[in-house]
Amino acid sequence: MKKTKVILLIILAFILGLTGCDNGNSPAGSNKYEGKPIVCFGDSLTEGFGATEFMAADKSNSYPAFLQKKVKAEVVNAGKSGDTSTDALARLDKDVLSRDPGAVVILLGANDFLDQRPAIEIKADLKVIINILRDEKIKIYFASFIGDSDWEEAAIKTFLLYSSFPGFESYAGLPALLPDYKKMFSELISENDDIEYIADIWTGVWGINMSYPDPIHPNAAGYKIMADLIFNEMREYLKENNLIR
């Protein structure tokens, strides 16, 4: 009889052990963002413009598509070519909040820059976007379309070169606008120290893996490198939440 009771206790403990793994507690290796997607929110650089065809978007070869190959969470491409920061703000609820994301990667401002809008206007839009996402307890990654000093030197040469071609005359004014945008992004990051900053999306991409003759959008190889750079900046968050494949 005593032996029978011991066997029954062992069986009971085994059953409780199994059910305990699914009782609402978080077992080791689980994550609080389980089931929540990562939304990549931006313009043509997010949508995948120029990836495989000149002057056309290809989401299947965009940086979010390559990022998806590295992570377990669903990666949503919420990029829309031509979007300014104001355009993006107008669709934030529909294209981002409705997805209930665990994290959002913001890559905006390039079209505002090309349109030569005052940096202070873009900062106001981006602050609203950041504040809304923060209120929803969403992890925020803010990526800059402006690269390091090497990117800046190469970009200025590109802007001046293309400004001599019909349709690109306005590019001549872009170098003078760069300091304002750099200052604006720097202020935005310093004023929001709870968000993660992705400063590098261009190393190995700009001037090397581009959608020629388009001077400002990557090709598929470039978007793959961009995804690697963004993934590296997100690695800690992804690892903590067991989201790396």
What domains can you pick out in the chain, each with its CATH number? 36-240 (3.40.50.1110)
Instruction: Give the pLDDT confidence of 122-157 residue by residue, as tens digits.
Output: 999 999 999 999 999 999 999 999 999 999 999 999
CA nearest neighbour of 151 among 205, 193, 70, 101: 205
Q: DSSP assignment, residue 99?
A: G
Q: Specify the pLDDT at position 84.
A: 98
pLDDT of residue 181: 97
Q: What is the mean pLDDT of residues 196-221?
A: 96
* 11-15, 28-32, 47-51, 211-215: the lowest-pLDDT one: 11-15
- For residue 78, the cross-strand partners are 41
| Of 33-42, 162-171, 173-182, 203-212, minimum mean pLDDT range | 33-42
Q: What integer is the mean pLDDT of 38-46? A: 98
Q: What is the pLDDT of residue 3?
A: 40
Cis before 37 (ω within 30): no
Kindly write down the DSSP assignment for every residue of 36-69, as one continuous string: --EEEEESHHHHTBTSSSTT-B-GGGSHHHHHHT
Token readout for 211 is 């959608």
Mean pLDDT of the chain: 89
Label the pairing between strands 75-79 and 103-107: unpaired
Lookup result for tokens 């070519």: 81
- The 10s digit of each residue's pLDDT in 108-122 is 999 999 999 999 999
Which pLDDT score, from 0 to 100, does residue 35 have?
78
pLDDT at 33: 60
pLDDT for the residue 236: 96
Q: What is the CA radius of gyration of the chain?
A: 23
Query: Residue 149 to residues 44, 188, 231: CA-CA distances in angstroms?
Result: 23, 19, 22
Residue 85: DSSP 8-state: H
